[in-house]
Amino acid sequence: MPHRRNPLLDLVTRLGDAATWEEVQEIVLTRAGSSVGSHGTTLALTNRTGTHLDVFTPSSPSIPSAVVDLHAESTLAKTILEGHPVVLSGVAITPGILDSLQLSPDTTAIIAVPLVGAEGAAGGVAFGYSDRTDVASADTDRAILVGRWIGRAFEHTRYQEQGRLFVDGLREELTHHASAPRGLSVHGAYRPPWAGEPLGGDWFDTFTGMGGAGIAVVGDVAGHGITASPTMIAMRSYLRALAFQDPDPHRVLNAADQLLTEFDREAGLVTMTLGVFEVEEGQLTIVNAGMPPPILRSHDGTVTVIDGGRSRVLGSGLEREHEEPVRVAFQSGDTIVFFTDGVLVPLPNSGVEISDIVGIMRNHGGDELESLVLAILDPPHRGTVRLDDATALAVRATGDV
């Protein structure tokens, strides 16, 4: 005998998986009715000002079929304002009620319940029945239970969306102020991990130091998701202040390490690459604390992996020795990319290795920087799996000094 799926379990599972307000709305209109055995479903959601109801039906799942004053004579308005279910049957169901609820004329019974979350009612839902003239208490109890699940799902997705908006704004704020130093063109981009965390430990930054040197930083705080972000934000601020005053890479790393271990003792390790561009002298100085090696494409097409300038990662608490940076020529038309280890994917058939980035630099190193960064972060063969957040920053000497 084939297994029969429980409609209520199906509804609850889908609501739990919903990531957006619109997804919850669609699930309610297409599946909530079957969970309570109804033949028609009407959803009413309070607007942002809390004065009106937007009414949705299966035939109009995304655009309101009606807008009702919350304090007008309405079955759903009464349900929402009083926070109690309303049950109607027989002669109590007038054409005006059916019209306001957008239910079919053959409806003989109605159960309307509020969608209640922790912060009150987000709206209400009405279930119409055409096969009965009375409503059992068990039917009402089931509808109330469904209304609670729906209310919680709407509330949960609202919190998620508010969080996403906050994090998106924070991420934009962190990268928006990255400015191109004189004589350089820059472009950086960030990709969150596949698990959906919108902000993690990666960051990039470019700015001009007090003496006119161009500073580029790409870093990664150990850990995943939003928990790594406070340390990331602190490190970005430390490095801006330190490198602006004195762009010597060794002194910058030493001071940043001291600040990290003194004021953020719960933080994990931090890896980063710091590049100091002396544009007029045509020289680039790099120190690399645990990151993948930057890759340089000279104006003549030569591609070089810059594997020197290695330094200890930050946050270990160990005393730092004097670590020599690596110095390379950087002239007009040269392009270098810095990237975090999240760019590299150690997976069969979709893996990305240093050799792949070298190939991208050979083939696309002369492209617009935005296109180059896109090719590094999203090569066609890498697949959709991203185990860690990933950041790439491309810097090109323009010759304008």
* 230 has pLDDT over 50: yes
133: domain CATH number is 3.30.450.40
Show Cβ contacts of residue 262 under 8 Å, excluding neighbours closer than 6 positions. Answer: none
Average pLDDT of the residues in 251-255: 87
Shared domain check, 281 and 239 = yes
Assess if residue 172 is contained within a domain. no
**Sheet hosting strand 326-329, strand order edge to edge:** 202-208, 214-221, 270-278, 283-289, 326-329
Give the predicted TM-score (pTM) of the model: 0.63
pLDDT single digits (tens) 4-39: 578 888 888 888 888 888 889 999 999 999 999 999
pLDDT single digits (tens) 299-355: 999 999 999 999 888 887 776 676 789 999 999 999 999 999 888 876 656 667 899
Shared domain check, 223 and 154 = no
* 154 has pLDDT over 80: yes
pLDDT single digits (tens) 234-251: 888 888 899 988 888 888
Residues pairing with 277 in the sheet: 214, 284
Report DSSP state, residue 310: B
Domain that includes residue 147, residue range: 7-164
Do 143 and 79 contact (CB within 8 A), yes or no? no
* 175 has pLDDT over 60: no
Assess if residue 171 is contained within a domain. no
Assess if residue 94 is contained within a domain. yes
Number of folded domains that form the chain: 2
Q: Which region, left, alpha or beta, applies to residue 100 given φ > 0 means left and ψ of -120 to 50 means alpha?
A: alpha
pLDDT single digits (tens) 104-135: 999 999 999 998 765 656 789 999 999 888 88
Residue 276: the pLDDT is 95
